[in-house]
Copies of this chain bind each other. A is one copy, B any other.
Amino acid sequence: MKSMSRPYADVGRTGQKRRTLDALVAAARQLVADGAAPTVDDAALVAGVARSTAYRYFPGQRELLAAAHPETAATSLLPENPPADVAERLDAVVVEFTRMILETEAQQRTMLRLSLAQTADERRSLPLRQGRAITWIAEALSPLQGQMAETDIHRLVLAIRSATGIESLAWLTDIGGLSRDEAVASQRWTARALLQQALQHGAPPTED
């Protein structure tokens, strides 16, 4: 956790700094919502703040977008009364997850693109993509606890997530030539297949 929820600990709850920061973040969110990938300049302009001031808060576009990223406060993707069956739970989560991705596709692509431009070191200090989906999928698979080792479940979660995110979706549509709906259907089928395989023949290997 740490200061994840409040990345700018030196900025208090009130005062000039807080207002300037809020204005910048609001401007960035606004632009992001419009489908753009605003630069620091863009955000400064919209926020009515000087270029140099904006750069005092955000070293670059990456940091800006990270701060503007919709928090997706959802802590769970399961419905009110979640089914007990693992496959049904997983399918519900995957449907919800892919829906969320499609809704913010432009933004997801931008974040993916920027994260690819990061070095490993930069990734450590500024995680542009936090892997929230891991938690969500793990929750869907929680009934497996007891019948499968914790680490095996984790590997399965990773395998499922790696096949159902924006990365594979972009490939399925851009190169694979599928429509959005077809791509999502493919991802649902894939997630189900991975779970089935793990149930029948064991979890993904630790090594090859």
Contacts and interface: CB of A to CB of B under 8 A. Distances in A.
Contacts of A109: 116
22 contacts: A129-B175, A131-B176, A134-B176, A158-B186, A159-B186, A159-B189, A161-B176, A163-B168, A165-B168, A167-B168, A168-B168, A182-B206, A185-B207, A186-B205, A190-B190, A192-B197, A193-B196, A193-B197, A193-B198, A194-B194, A196-B201, A197-B197
- Majority secondary structure of chain A interface residues (helix, strand, loop or mixed): helix
Contacts of A182: 206-207
Contact of A113 (B117, B184, B192): B117
Number of copies of this chain in the oligomer? Answer: 2
Interface residues of A, number: 50
A172 interface: yes
Contacts of A158: 172, 176, 178, 186
A101 interface: no
Contacts of A113: 113, 116-117
A34 interface: no
B171 A167 contact: yes
A71 to B, nearest CB: 17
A174 B207 contact: no
A106 to B, nearest CB: 11
A186 B208 CA distance: 9
Nearest to A176: B158
Contact of A163 (B115, B163, B170, B198): B163
Contacts of A187: 162
Nearest to A183: B162
